[in-house]
Amino acid sequence: MSDTAVKHYIEELHRLQESLPGDKLSLIREAAMGQFQARGFPTTRQENWKYTDVKPIARSAFGIAEAKPATGYEKQLEHARLSGLDSHELVFINGRFSVEHSRSQDLPQGVVLEDMSSAVNNHSMLVDSVMSNTTLNDQSNPFNILNTAFIHDGVLIHVPDDCSIDKPINLIYLSGYSDNEFSAHPRNLIFLGSGARLTVIENYVGAKDRQYFINTVTDAVLSSNAALTHYKLQQESVESYHIGNFNIYQDRDSQVNSHSISLGGALVRNDIKVQLDAEGAGVLLNGLYMANGKQHIDNHTLINHLQQHTTSEEHYRGVLNDRGRGVFNGKVVVHKDAQKTDAAQSNANLLLSDQAEIDTKPELEIYADDVKCSHGSTVGQLDKDMMFYLRSRAIDEATAKSILTYAFAEEVIKRIEIEQIRHYLEYQVIGRLPDAELIKEFTHE
């Protein structure tokens, strides 16, 4: 099956070769497809994919998304615009950039904000510098490689030295509004100059009960003293597949705050890879995943402390209900030159049914002797004492469970600084719980 699936994507690349943008990228695409052909799709025999079987993706043989008229997305687009948020917006429908729905103005001088299909021609040197950067690109991840082979849409963001973009950039990906099943491979490239400041939102929303495959990669390069706040809000169709890679390279005294929220998708895998390559670099990874029905959501993170005086903080929480399954693998590697590293990691999981499942594996590899590191994970059910307290206040069992579940998830949401995003997620999380209207009243009194 794997050979057949790989052959399908080779044929798709050859079919689309002439229509893909950026002539200079053709060699990179061919090289990536050669790597993908050699590796194939990952299997559960590989340690990093032990608990996540991607055969449903491989055997579906999705065609590559093509630019076609779409309808039925208007309501979802309005929700994804996050009511009340003043932002620059780039909108993608079924994997393709929509000029008519995108809006950005009053960008500071020197800032580049451009859809990828245009950027590969207009800023080819900048794009090539990332595509050929083996340190940033994960050559061991087949989905990262497959994305490179089909690079077409997505966004290029370049913020020059000492420049701050006051308004967030909201990248809205609307999928499933097509008569055919399809795959899309968005590539987002973010470059921050020395002292630059930026907030980016990646918002993935899907049409109800539609099947498709989104394979997205975001690469971020931060120069000294730069700061990036990154939000990934994933609410794909519960019939869809979503694979996401976020590769981060940080220079001296740079800071990344990453917030990853996974609510949708039948099969979801998020990989975050961080390189802290200079003194003073720091990263915060904040994540929430909620799996209902038969959803499968996998989060893998890898933080490399390469130099001294670097910091990392990681907080992930999972809520698993019905036959939902979660996977968390968080690995922190402290290299021999990374003295005075400060790294903390935690993963807490709440199981709401007897059939829900979580596989959690926090890891620490330490090759330096003067460090401060901690990690841990918990798996449990709702607090019986708190349940008793709420029931004694005449709150029925289902509502009491919902209140406590929301309180558990809120520990992640409350770290989000942008009010409109925080409120949006509060209502999305509450909407997944029984007695949603009562919970809204209770939590917003």
For the stretch 373-422, pLDDT in tens is: 999 999 999 888 888 888 888 888 888 889 999 999 999 999 999 999 99
Q: Which residues of 320-340 are buried (b: 16+ CB within 10 A; e: fewer)?
A: bbebbbbbbbbbbbbbeebbe
pLDDT of 442 higher than 80: no
Per the CB < 8 A criterion, the answer to whether 115 and 154 are in contact is: yes
Say what the pLDDT of residue 70 is.
Answer: 77
> How many domains does the chain contain in total?
2
Report residue 161's pLDDT band, with 50, 70 and 90 as the boundaries: very high
298 lies in a domain? no
Per the CB < 8 A criterion, the answer to whether 425 and 416 are in contact is: yes
106 lies in a domain? yes
Mean pLDDT of 199-212: 96
Number of neighbouring beta carbons within 10 Å of residue 23: 10
Burial of 104 (0-12, 13-18, 19+ CB in 10 A): middle
* Block residue for tokens 């590899």: 365
Per the CB < 8 A criterion, the answer to whether 328 and 377 are in contact is: yes
299 lies in a domain? no
Structure-block tokens of residue 361: 């594996």
Taking the C-alpha atoms of residue 113 and residue 333, their distance in angstroms, rounded to an integer, is: 34
356 lies in a domain? no
Mean pLDDT of 119-147: 83
Q: What residue numbers bound the domain in which 442 lies? A: 383-445
Structure-block tokens of residue 340: 């005075």
In sequence order, what are the residues at sequence separation of 6 or more whose Cβ sits closer than 8 angstroms to the Cβ of residue 95?
A: 65, 152, 153, 173, 175, 182, 183, 184, 185, 186, 214
Say what the pLDDT of residue 27 is.
Answer: 83
pLDDT, tens only, 94-132: 999 999 999 998 899 999 999 999 998 899 888 888 777
Say yes or no: 260 and 391 in one domain: no
317 lies in a domain? no
- Last residue in a domain, options 254, 278, 302: 278
265 lies in a domain? yes
Say what the pLDDT of residue 433 is.
Answer: 83
pTM of this structure? 0.95
Taking the C-alpha atoms of residue 307 and residue 252, their distance in angstroms, rounded to an integer, is: 9
pLDDT, tens only, 15-65: 888 778 777 778 888 889 999 999 999 999 999 999 999 999 999 989 887
Say yes or no: 273 and 393 in one domain: no
77 lies in a domain? yes
- Last residue in a domain, options 246, 278, 310: 278
pLDDT of 275 higher than 90: yes
Share of the chain above pLDDT 70, in %: 96
Burial of 128 (0-12, 13-18, 19+ CB in 10 A): middle
Mean pLDDT of 135-163: 90
- Last residue in a domain, options 278, 312, 327: 278
- Least Cα distance to 22 among 97, 132, 163, 122 occurs for 122
Say yes or no: 247 and 389 in one domain: no
Say what the pLDDT of residue 35 is.
Answer: 93
Say yes or no: 259 and 390 in one domain: no
Say what the pLDDT of residue 445 is.
Answer: 52
Say yes or no: 273 and 422 in one domain: no
pLDDT, tens only, 281-329: 999 999 999 999 999 999 999 999 999 999 999 999 999 999 999 999 9
